[in-house]
Chain A
Amino acid sequence: MTDIRTLLTALRMGDSAFPSGGFAFSWGLETLVEDGKVNDGAGVLEFARSQLWNRWATADRVMARRAAETACDEEWSDLDRMLDAMTLASELRSGSCQAGRALLRAHAGLGSQVALRWRRLVADGRARGHLPVVQGAVWAGSGMTVEILETLSAWTLVSGIAQAAIRLSLTGPLESQTILVEVTDDIAGILAAPPPDEPHAFTPLADIAVMRHERGDVRLFAN
């Protein structure tokens, strides 16, 4: 059974009030709306599911777990470099790094020794601070189990998408909550199976949207 203190820590860090900067990113949703590829709540749900199954479950989860299972600077750097090489759209890379660094800043401010070590890695140019590996390292350092931190990582992804959908006027607050209810089974289904041995990702529609965002005229989000 999950320790109550661990659960409270996860709730606090998954709260939108936690200063991790997640509100700045749409992960391609903004351009998909602009291009007419996503028009309503059903489209947002499909987008969230694609992000969960085809990127988070197969790449981000793998990297977060590996980062959680080590406390070695060199291994963290290697994971960060590998994720950087796998993230082929420029604004996906910069978004992942901005979010990861925002998370580091918040945890360093709260006295996390892991976050302080990570910030040195970033300052020394040994890592860029990609969000999934930072989440794994920092959240494990704060006492979370792998199961809890994976759940939190998946939750922050889909809740960020749901919030972006509201800001893009695709959904209202209640419909966004409905989307979050819908993806609960997806997250549970993903976490019920072991992660793949090798990280991989295939979200071409979102990748292209993020690439097009670089040249977009309307930019509410950073990607």
Chain B
Amino acid sequence: MSRFATEHGRQLALDFARAPSGGTFLKRQYVAFPFHITRPFDDGDGLLVILQSLGAGLVQGDRFAAGIVAGEGTAVTIRTQGATIAHAMPADDALQHVRLDAHPGSRLVWQPRPLVLFPGARVRTSLEVVVHDGADVMWCDAFLPHDAGEPGKHFASLQSETVVRADDGTLLVLDRVRTSGKDLACSGVAVHGTIGMVGGIAAAPGLADTLSVAVALSGAYAGVSSLPGECGLLVRVLADDGAMLARAVEDVVAAVAQHPRSVL
């Protein structure tokens, strides 16, 4: 149960629709603390919305949820202004859930900045994606530990889950991670990122090779592969630091957008 105002349990609900002109507009919005959105910007290729948080990041007891609906034929990109800081949580964890609904013919890009896990942070995060026929969705998911001036201290736990389903409920992708700062330190993993894309993008010839070349330029250790059932592509990234990760993500997103057969 959230301590803050919600609508159907969510602090953020954005519904996008297609205008008679063919453009995309924000048809309906519910935005409550801690969220704030910028005025949607139409770059001629779709609508861009920057999502901001007025809070200090995630603290214990937070229960945040957001829902984004890309209506038929819309083109929407949601980015966050900055990384999400997860602070020490001695008594309770924090939970954030995002649901994306991409209706037929829509293209939706969910590109939040990374989750930064401070010592003692305990976070459960989930991304639920529902893809209708003819829709394209791209999502980013990344996290990194940060000792915040306390060398040797680690975040307590991270439970992260990305579930992608077709509109008939068929499970397409399940990326479920359970880890801790101590485990990460032992494994030598510094910064971890995932960029996934499902829909017609899977059929774009040569895109996987293009993305492999693009992500390598960042200097990160990365790989690209087709998702189960050839429903899309996934890029996994291990970077030395947040800056390298940001370059990798930007390079991948730009390469997808510029690919001649891409609809994203």
Q: Which residues of A contact B (CB under 8 A)?
A: 35, 37, 50, 54, 58, 81-82, 84-91, 93, 196, 198-202, 204-205, 207-212, 214-215
Q: Which residues of B contact A (CB under 8 A)?
A: 171-179, 183, 187-189, 192, 209, 212, 221-229, 234, 236-238
Name the residue of chain B whose CB is nearest to the CB of A198. Answer: B176
Name the residue of chain A whose CB is nearest to the CB of B222. Answer: A208
Contact A211 B176 (CB under 8 A): no
Q: Which residues of A contact B228 (CB under 8 A)?
A: 84-85, 87-88, 93
- A202–B203 Cα distance when bound, in Å, is 28
Contact B225 A90 (CB under 8 A): yes
Contact A202 B177 (CB under 8 A): yes
Q: Which residues of B contact A209 (CB under 8 A)?
A: 223
Q: Which residues of A contact B179 (CB under 8 A)?
A: 202
- A81–B229 Cα distance when bound, in Å, is 10
- A35–B227 Cα distance when bound, in Å, is 23
If A204-B236, A208-B236 touch, whether A88 touches B175 (CB-CB below 8 Å) is yes
- A21–B45 Cα distance when bound, in Å, is 50
The one of A50, A54, A208 that contacts B223, using a Cβ cutoff of 8 Å: A208
Contact B225 A211 (CB under 8 A): yes
If A204-B236, A204-B238 touch, whether A210 touches B223 (CB-CB below 8 Å) is yes
Q: Which residues of A contact B174 (CB under 8 A)?
A: 82, 85-86
- A120–B188 Cα distance when bound, in Å, is 43
Q: How far is the CB of B214 from chain A (nearest CB, A)?
A: 13
- A185–B222 Cα distance when bound, in Å, is 32
- A107–B80 Cα distance when bound, in Å, is 53
If A91-B225, A215-B209 touch, whether A86 touches B189 (CB-CB below 8 Å) is no
Contact B173 A88 (CB under 8 A): yes
Q: How far is the CB of B145 from chain A (nearest CB, A)?
A: 14
- A60–B187 Cα distance when bound, in Å, is 20
Contact B176 A200 (CB under 8 A): yes
